[in-house]
Structure formats: C-alpha cells, structure tokens
Chain A
Amino acid sequence: VKVLLRNPRRELDIDGPLRVQVLIQRLGLNRESVLVIRGDTLVPGDVVLDDGDTVEIRPVISGGAVELPGTP
C-alpha cells in the first residue's frame, strides 16, 4: 500500500492487506487527528487496503490564530 503523508510530505510503502485502523496504529497516529482518503473518497477504519492501493493520510488539526474573545 502506498501511503502519502503530509506536513512534511513523504511517501511510505506498507505491506498489505491491512485494515485502515491498523495502518493508522502502525504509523503511531491518533485516529481523531487524521482522515484516510483513497482517490477522492474517504475510507472508514474497517476497510481493508490491498497492495496496489494508494491512500493519503490527511492531518485535520489546525492551530493558527486563536481568537480569544477580547476587546479590540
């Protein structure tokens, strides 16, 4: 399975078949912090990825300006 990661961008090859949730665990990621996308479709944790699949692991956490409710 070809795995595309972001921040920084990099690629990994991981032996399939394996479930999405196992892939996330194996990469040491928190399942609350990422989405797994195959093509342009989201794939849930129980889907089995095979050799030949390409998936993007997309981080979902953003933490720019924290707009605290202050006065201007």
Chain B
Amino acid sequence: VKCRRCREPAIIEIRRHNAAFCTECFVRHCRDQVAKAIHDFDMVQPGERVLVAVSGGKDSLGLWDMLLDLGYEADGLYLGLGIGEPDGYSDTSAAFARAFAQRRGAPLRTIDLPTDYGYDIPAGSAAARRAPCSACGLSKRHLFNTAALEGDYQAVATGHNLDDEAAVLFGNVLRWNTDYLGRQLPVLPGGRGFVRKVKPLVRLGEREMAAYCVVRGIDYIVEECPMAVGNKHLGYKEALNAIEDQSPGSKQAFYFGFLDRASAHFRPEAVAEQAGLHPCPTCGSPTTSEVCAFCSLVTRATAAPDPQPVRMARARRRS
C-alpha cells in the first residue's frame, strides 16, 4: 500500500477515508484533523490557555502532544484515582503522564483523590452507591473545571475521540436520553461557573490515536482500566466497530450527521435545564441540585459505614 500523499510505502490504512499514509504524512493528517476541529467548532482562540485532562492513555497524551506542536499554551492536569494496588493501574498511568510532561518540558499539575479528597474510586464509588465509571466521570468533570477556573485557563481539553463520541451517542439514542443528546457537543461553552470544554479529537478515531502515539514514540498505558471492564460503553464500541468493519465511515456519518441534522432539536431541553443553575452552598460550583453532585459524592464516599441494624446482621449470619 502506498501513501496517498507522497506515494512512499504506507504504515497505516484508514478505511473511512479510503486512504493510507506513511509515517510523516500520517502525523500531518492527525494534526490537520485536530486543527480543523479546533477551527470548525471555534474551540480555542489564539492566546488562550488550555488545560488538558491527562490520564496517561493514548488519547490524552496524543492530544497534548498535538496541541503543543500546533503552538497552543497547553498544560496538563492528571487526576489520581487510586485504582489498583501500589504500582497498579493509577500509579502506572501517572508515571506515563509524568514521563511525557518531562520529555516535552510541559507543566503537569496533579490532583490525587485519596490524598486530597479522602477517597478513591473503587471504595468511594461503592460507598456512594455509584457505578465506578460514573463516580470517576463526575470527579473528573468537577475537578478539571475547578482547576481550570483557579488556574485562569480559558478551556479544558479532553481526549474524547470519534469512537467515544459515537459510542456515547449510540447509547443515548438507544435509550432516548434527550437531555444528554442536547448537550453532546464538541464544545460546551463557558460561563456561569463553567470553563469551556472542548474535544479536539472528534475527527480522529481511537485506532488513529493509538497509531499516532506509536509513530511519535509516546509511551502510554495500554491496559484497560480494571473498573471499566465489561461496561456498556465498551459494548457500544464493539457494536459500532462491527458495523464500521462492514461499512467504513459509518461512525463518522453517525456522529457528524447528528451534529449537522439532529443536535439542535435537543438543545432547548438542555438550555432549559441550565436556567435552574445556582452555586453549590458547599463549594460554589454551579448545580441544579440543593448540593452539587461532587460534594454529595465526597460526603458519601468519606462517611463512616452505616451501622447495621441488629436484626439484619443476625439474618445475614444465618444465611
């Protein structure tokens, strides 16, 4: 297979573009797609500071690499989730994030949930009776927003790629979660206590992001998060990849078709929900509930276990 641009031997085929690229042209392709997404969706303006949500995985490290190469002032923020034993998943992913930051000479800020907030995702999510991925997403959403406000960043950039967005859309359509559909956008504007959130990787699939890291020599955590194994999101990705294999371009058509032709129908519901926002009395973050979801999570995740009623404890011993 030859590179579509320069006719040198190709290293990767991208079937949805009916194209193949050599190493040099592939890196250029990835940067062009990120630059196009940033431009088309007005994600970041010249001179703005960007905080990149860094996990140590291929998407966030690849995104950070491209933003730096495109000339953006992009700092990283790593959130320690306390997943796995010492030297396990969280420690390993943190090491990849630190190594990348050092190699690029880029600032990396760190928040550690167990040290700074007194809970980790496995135990905290169980205590709060939330799914681990839900507690993790909630923690990230709150802490990245807060850190960006405090650090005077104009945007938070996340490594959500085309596959992520197509899978989330698939799940929301399957269940007609119309409130989520109204907010599934590549850019969520800032204001009223929110920093702008941008997803510059929406034009790149995760196979491209893994390939980008390989050709750029970026080491990242390949192992799947142990808390995510078997979740619905992974199932949606598998289903979409089965379709993509038969019909290349389906994921892109699904997601960008939604943005072009359907997204606006669901916006009023999302906008109406924003009208009920007020500051959380505990932390000041915007919320539509009495106390924000993050403060509720911290309270429940760090609370002492409820004492068991005597009758229930006896019944359990008998069984």
Contacts and interface: CB of A to CB of B under 8 A. Distances in A.
A44 B12 CA distance: 5
Interface string A17-39: 00000000000001111110100
Given A62-B59, A63-B224, A72-B292, A32 B136 contact: no
A41 B12 CA distance: 10
A63 B207 contact: no
Contacts, number: 136
A42 B12 contact: yes
B214 interface: yes
Contact of B293 (A6, A34, A66, A72): A72
B183 A62 contact: no
Interface residues of B, number: 66
B82 interface: no
How large, as a class, is the contact surface on chain A? Answer: 20 to 34
Nearest to B177: A68
Nearest to A68: B180
Contacts of B217: 40
Contacts of A46: 1
Interface string B221-252: 01111011001011001100110110000000
Contact of A72 (B223, B234, B237, B286): B286
Interface stretch (B40-48, B139-147, B311-319): B139-147
A35 B26 CA distance: 14
Contacts of A6: 222-223
A65 interface: yes
Interface of B: 1, 10-13, 15, 20, 55, 57-59, 133, 136-138, 140-142, 145, 158, 160, 163-164, 167-168, 180, 183-185, 188, 197, 205-207, 209-211, 214-215, 217, 222-225, 227-228, 231, 233-234, 237-238, 241-242, 244-245, 273-274, 277, 280, 285-288, 292-294
Interface of A: 6-7, 30-35, 37, 40-46, 58-72
